[in-house]
Every structure is written in C-alpha cells, then in structure tokens.
Amino acid sequence: MEMNWTVFGLSLALAHVLAWALNLLIHHLGQEQDGYTWLLVVIGVGGTLIISLTTVPWQYVFAILAYFAASGVPMILGDLYRTMRSRRQARLAALDEARREVLDDQTKKAAIRSERAAG
C-alpha cells in the first residue's frame, strides 16, 4: 500500500488540533473531570485511532484497539475503584466533622445550662 503523504500530514495536523481541543476542554472542566480521567484517555485514544483510519488499514487499527483495550481495562477499573474509595473517604470525613460539631455544640450548651443552674 502506497502512503499518501498529503493525507498523512493532514491527518496528523487534525489529530494535533483535536488533542489541543481536548486539552482545552479538560482545562475548563477543572476539578469537575476528577474521577473521569480514564474516560478522557479513552476519548483521546479513540479519536487518534479513528483519525489513523485515513492512512492505516482498518485491520491494523482494530488490532491496535484490541491491545489498548487489553492494557486499558485494568487501568479503567483501577481508576474507578480509586475514585469511589476517595469519594467515600471524603464523605465519611465530612460526616465525622459534622458529628464533632454537633457534639461540641451540645457540650457548650450543657456547660451554659450548668453555669446558669449553679449561678
């Protein structure tokens, strides 16, 4: 298969522009993208594979996709697990803090009642 270098160059330029666009989207999402890193990687890799179809036979692209899937699924599952664990720990910490505040308020009120009763 003869390489069409013009198509190859244009597809590389398109991949580069789309990568910058995805980077800009990630920048604007800020902390909102927390927990979705795996999805952003999948979108970037998927876009690259789709663009590569302009110059690479689909059988090769499919084979590379299979390799990315084989090596990427454990990373996806790991990221999901770490995100869920981190969010759960944050919720538990917030609950503990709220409990401490309630106990502090109750202790202060009890002290005030004791002072009034004694005084």
Residue 119 CA to residue 102 CA, distance in Å, equals 25
Number of domains in the chain: 1
Is the C-alpha dihedral spanning 73, 75, 78, 83 positive or negative? negative
Q: Where are the alpha helices (DSSP H) in the chain?
A: 5-29, 37-52, 58-118
What's the pTM value of the predicted model, to 2 decimals? 0.71
Q: How confident is the model at residue 26 (pLDDT cuts 50, 70, 90)?
A: confident
Domain range holding 91?
5-118
Alpha-carbon separation of residue 80 from 69, 77, 83 (angstroms): 16, 5, 5
Residue 49 CA to residue 55 CA, distance in Å, equals 10
Instruction: Give the pair of three-digit tokens for residue 17.
Output: 């522009």
Closest CA relative to residue 43, chosen from 59, 21, 74: 21
Q: For 28-77, how does the pLDDT look when each residue is reduced to its tens digit (9 = 90+)?
A: 887 777 788 889 899 999 999 999 999 999 999 999 999 999 999 999 99
Sequence-distant (6+) residues with CB within 8 A of 14 are: 51
